[in-house]
Structure 1
Amino acid sequence: MAGFLDRAKEQAQRGINQGKQRLDEVQAQRAGNDLLRKLGAAYYAEHRGGGSHEATQDALQTLESHIAENGDSFLRR
């Protein structure tokens, strides 16, 4: 009986860990999409005359930092 409970506990823990990993991936993907939208908005504003080159560069740098930390899988959708 103890062996069964131990296996059930291990399986539950694996499920929890997989769920946490998936949640982290989804949150990173959403953050990447948000940063990509901000970059697009900064670029559009710069080229329409209402934004600055510095704002575009800042948005690009923030996006690149996010990609370095989390990967670029959100770009492939």
Structure 2
Amino acid sequence: MAGFLDRAKEQAQHALNQGKQKVDEVHQHRAGNDLLKQLGAAYYAEQRGSGSAQATQDALSALEAHISAHGDGFLRG
């Protein structure tokens, strides 16, 4: 009986870890999309004359930092 409970506990812990990993992936994906949207908005504002090149560069740097840390998978989704 103890072996069964140990295996059940291990399986539950494994499922919990997989769930946490998936939640982290979703958060990273959303953060990447938000940064991409901010870059687009900064570029658009710059082209319209109401933004600055520095704001566009800052948004690009933030996006590149996110990609370096988490990958670019959000760009394909």
- TM-score band w.r.t. shorter chain: over 0.9
Q: How far, CA to CA, are the matches of 1:54 and 1:62 in structure 2?
A: 12
Provide the residue aligned with 1:7 in structure 2: 7
Q: How far, CA to CA, are the matches of 2:12 and 2:39 in structure 1?
A: 41
Give CA deviations for 1:14-62 in whole Å, capped at 9, x if unaligned. 0000000000000000000000000000000000000000000000000
Unpaired stretches in structure 2, ≥5 consecutive residues: none
Q: How far, CA to CA, are the matches of 1:40 and 1:34 in structure 2?
A: 10
Percent identity, aligned pairs only, is 71
Matched, 1:41 2:41: yes
Structure 1 runs of 4+ with >6 Å offset: none
Unpaired stretches in structure 1, ≥5 consecutive residues: none
After TM superposition, list the pairs within 5 Å mapping 1:43-58 onto structure 2: 43-58=43-58
Give the number of equivalent residue pairs.
Answer: 77
RMSD: 0.3
Provide the residue aligned with 1:20 in structure 2: 20
